[in-house]
Chain A
Amino acid sequence: MTAPLAVFFVLAGLAVIGAVSLILQKHPIHSALSLIVVMVALAGLYLLLGAEFVAAVQIIVYGGAIMVLFVFVIMLINLDVSLHQVQFNRQWWLGLLLALVLGAQLTVAIAVGRSGLPLGEPAPATMLEPSTQLVGRVLFSEYMLPFEIASILLLVAMIGAVVMAKKKV
């Protein structure tokens, strides 16, 4: 096993363990900490894929901003009552079954389609060499309009969050 493959399996295992822990924890704060583990492991995977900028954004936006928001809200509405309630809903077995069926379907789709797709031969790593520079060039030329729309979306989300969290809705 080569070194990158070993790193991949360590990070992937960390991500999957964190994800399973996320959906099994009783207290939301433990779920949030598990989610941070997943985020950081995925940032490592992005580095492995040569996407330095996405890895940095992942850490800053997900690990920083979004998780602070989650933890802040959990602190704000800390509900001890909810710890003594049933954590899974009544139809959990049906939901679990259907989700596993979905997972099995996707597994079969990838396993069967793998032979038809040119998945084995990645492009040479040098093609994405100054990764951040390339992202900037594509983002500010071809995807200029989506970029501006994304900024408007963030403005709308900010206004929405302020209105929602106001005293009287």
Chain B
Amino acid sequence: MIPTSHYLFLSLGLFTIGVIGVVTRRNVIIILMSIELMLNAVNINLVAFSRLVGSAEGHVFAIFVITDAAAEAAVGLGIIIAFFRNRETLLGDEMDLLKW
């Protein structure tokens, strides 16, 4: 039997790697992928706790998280396409239209 804490540590590792990707990379597409990685790390926790207490509710929440990730990816990539068409750049630190 695999202890639940193993899953917690795996989830923690993936989440931290995702955070590192978000705060260090410049390419917005890779930043968006790192966010997907963080959402996945959350899903591991939900499913692992579901297994721990023996209830299917964690699975339902994991499915909701996946739905949100799909919506977020669609809108995020749409925004990236629109921005690229206007500014010809993919670098997150050059996206400063709202900066005063």
Interface residue tally on B, bucketed by range: 35 or more
Per the bound structure, the CA–CA distance linking A59 and B29 in Å amounts to 21
| Contact partners of A42 in chain B: CB under 8 A | 40, 43-44
| Contact partners of A32 in chain B: CB under 8 A | 33
| Least distance between A56 CB and chain B CB atoms (Å) | 10
Per the bound structure, the CA–CA distance linking A148 and B42 in Å amounts to 22
- Cβ < 8 Å to A, chain B residues 1-48: 1-10, 12-21, 23-27, 29-30, 32-34, 36-37, 40, 43-44, 47-48
| Contact partners of A90 in chain B: CB under 8 A | 93
A interface residues, tally (CB under 8 Å) = 91
B75 contacts A by Cβ under 8 Å: yes
| Contact partners of A99 in chain B: CB under 8 A | 16, 19-20, 23-24
Chain B binding surface, main DSSP class:
helix
Residues A119 and B10 in contact, CB atoms below 8 Å apart: no
Q: Give the 3 A-B CB pairs with smallest separation, nearest first.
A: A123-B54, A164-B78, A95-B23
On B, residues with C-beta under 8 Å from A are 1-10, 12-21, 23-27, 29-30, 32-34, 36-37, 40, 43-44, 47-48, 50-57, 59-60, 62-64, 66-75, 77-82, 84-86, 90-93
| Contact partners of A103 in chain B: CB under 8 A | 12-13, 15-16, 19
Interface flags for A105-149 (1: CB within 8 Å of B; 0: not) read 011001000100011101110011001001101110011001000
Residues A150 and B67 in contact, CB atoms below 8 Å apart: yes
In the complex, the chain B residue whose C-beta lies closest to that of A124 is B54
A49 contacts B by Cβ under 8 Å: yes
